[in-house]
Every structure is written in C-alpha cells, then in structure tokens.
Structure 1
C-alpha cells in the first residue's frame, strides 16, 4: 500500500495528534522491525537525506540489546543517507519515541527535508543519537539494515555500501535477538517460496 505525500512545510515534530512522515535509515529500514511497535507504518517512498552521513555508535559507550553500534546520522555536507519515508498514525508517535529511547536521552527527534525519488521533498521526523561513541555494529543489526534496504528498493550502490560495513563478532542469543532472527527467518522462507 502506498500513501501520497503532501510536501507542505508543516512541522512533523509535534505530538499533537496528527499523522506524520518518518525517515527510517537504520534498523527501521525493515518494515517488520518498525511495525513491532508501530503497526500503522506504511511505506511512502525511498528517500535521500542530503548533507548527512551514516555512522554507528553507542550512547556514551553503553551496551544495548543489539550487541554493538546502532545507526545515527550527523551533518556532513558531502554525504547522503538513503532510507525509507514511512507514514505513521499519530497514535504511533509515542511508541516510536520509546523505541528510540528519547525519554532516556539516547536519541533526539529532529525534523529533516528528505528528497523522494520522483516526487520532491517532504518534511520528516527522524532521530539522531546524542553523545555517541563510534562502535562497530553487530552482524544482526547489519543484516536487518541490508534486508530492509533490499526489501524496499534502495539504490544498488547504497546497498553495496551497507553490505561493506564492518561488524563486530557479537552473536549472543537473547530474547530480543531471537525475536529479530525469527523475523528475518520468516522473511527468507516467504521469499524462497
């Protein structure tokens, strides 16, 4: 299902009961991952955030349930970050903030202009990590990102760049990693049938 985008300059940061557009560039490239806590998420289009760079880190060096660095963005005039523009219902704003640990100060919501492939710019909510230390991501996190990038048709050159990301060797089994691995396994079964 696709949603038409009205590219007006209306702010998407307020939690005032309005539907909003969200730019996912990390684990939320994968629809099934995003919909765990945000079931209203509907794909709008592939988008490109110009003037930002993708990085991986840990909030103040603290460990997380992914077992390694997670995605963030930071301004970098020469770089671009590709991702997915999602349309979400207002009711999912709080759960999205919770998923991104806004209350704990790990990520902050920011408003960005994202270029759609064929339909101009749209204002989107996204998240940027606060006080992060660079860290290699886990193989599982990278797999979720790469699967989501392929699932949603990000440019082949960008997918190649994601596939080249170095990872740590974290492979511990936890309830969280089991849930994510089940999602990935289900996707592999469905695509091979």
Structure 2
C-alpha cells in the first residue's frame, strides 16, 4: 500500500482513478508550510500545479491509497525525473500526522494554467470539501487549442463529475460551477 497526497488535478477522483484504477480516497489532508502554485511547466506550454515551501502557508489536498503496483503508473503520468520529482511529506489529517508520497516540480516557469486544468483542480477540491479561494488567485487562460486531446479528456472527466467549463467568462464562473450544482450540472 502506498499513501499518496494529491493537491492538483489528481484531486479529482475520476482523474486519478483513470490513471490508477485502484486508487481510493482516504480523506482530506493538509501540507503545512507549503503553498500551491502553477509554476511547473507542462508539455503543452501551460502551468501545472506544484508545491513550494512557504512558512505559515497550508496546502489542502487529499490522501489516497494506491496499490503498490500502480505507483509506477502514476510516476509515468507525472513525468517522474523529467517534470516532477517524488517527495516524502508529513501531512495533517483528521487521524493525526501521516507520511505520504507526493510530487514536486523539478523546474519552474511563470505560466498560466489552461481553463480545463484549473477546472480539474477546482472540481477536485470541491469533491473533497476543500476550500477553493487560493486557487482563484492563480493565473489561467482559455486553452488556445480547444481540440487538444488532454483538454478534451479533462472536459469529459469534468462533465462526468457534474462540472462544465465551456464558455467561462472569468474565474468567478469556474468557482460557481464547482460550488453551485445548478451551474455545474451538465
């Protein structure tokens, strides 16, 4: 059994189980003295989530159980050694301190996330009852290639989870679609 801390797009249960079918959410978790930002450069030219040391800050996320044989699958999806490194972290959970693996960017760039990526992060937070406010301060933009396969797949996952991101006029609409079932149902 491997314990994994998800804080970005893997927070959405459907996203993580599409990558690791045996993944099971154990509950919310918080990483003290770290903040989430979107400074990890993605292969598509957009920013992806990572964690950075930041005394006094807290990054919310979820603790997952992964079958040991699925950790290499997640390593491959996360670009272990190329985009992310794996890090051991101590989390605060409702059951007390817990150690888990997570991923942290190896490189840093000043890039906005695409709307669908931020949507995955927001929907994941909403799925675990976690706060959304800090995500709204992060830079994002519509994907300039709407037919991009990763964006289409993300929108499919979001729709299956009850969230729609098409035609978003601004970041406040993303939050409302994640928190208001009337706006997010699709």
- The interval holding the TM-score normalised by the smaller chain is 0.7 to 0.9
Contact conserved, 2:40 with 2:50, CA < 8 A, in 1? Answer: no
* Structure with higher RCO (Cα < 8 A, 6+ apart): 1
Contact 1:111 1:124 survives alignment (8 Å): yes
Shift of 1:51: 0.7
Cα distance in 1 for partners of 2:97, 2:27 equals 11
Q: Does 2:139 match 1:163?
A: no
- How far apart are the structure 1 equivalents of 2:14 and 2:103? 19
Output the TM-score relative to the length of structure 2. 0.82
Matched, 1:31 2:13: yes
Counterparts of 1:58 and 1:127 in 2: how far apart (Å)? Answer: 11
* 2:43 counterpart of 1:64: yes
Distance 1:174 1:137 in 2: 14
TM-score relative to the length of structure 1 = 0.79
As a proportion of its length, which structure holds more helix?
Answer: 2
Contact 2:14 2:161 in 1 (8 A): no
Unaligned 5+ runs, structure 1: 1-18
Note the C-alpha offset of 1:183. Answer: 1.2
| Paired residue total | 165
Which residue of the partner structure matches residue 148 of structure 1? 124
Structure 1 segment 1-193 matched on structure 2, within 5 A: 19-59=1-41, 63-65=42-44, 67-103=45-81, 105-116=82-93, 118-154=94-130, 158-172=131-145, 173-188=147-162, 192=185
Q: What is the CA distance between 1:83 and its match in structure 2?
A: 0.2
Once superposed, which parts of structure 1, at least 4 consecutive aligned residues long, lie more than 6 Å away? none
Q: Are the aligned partners of 1:55 and 1:134 in contact in 2 as well (CA < 8 Å)?
A: no
1:72 CA drift (Å): 0.5
Q: Gaps spanning 5+ residues in structure 2: where?
A: 164-180
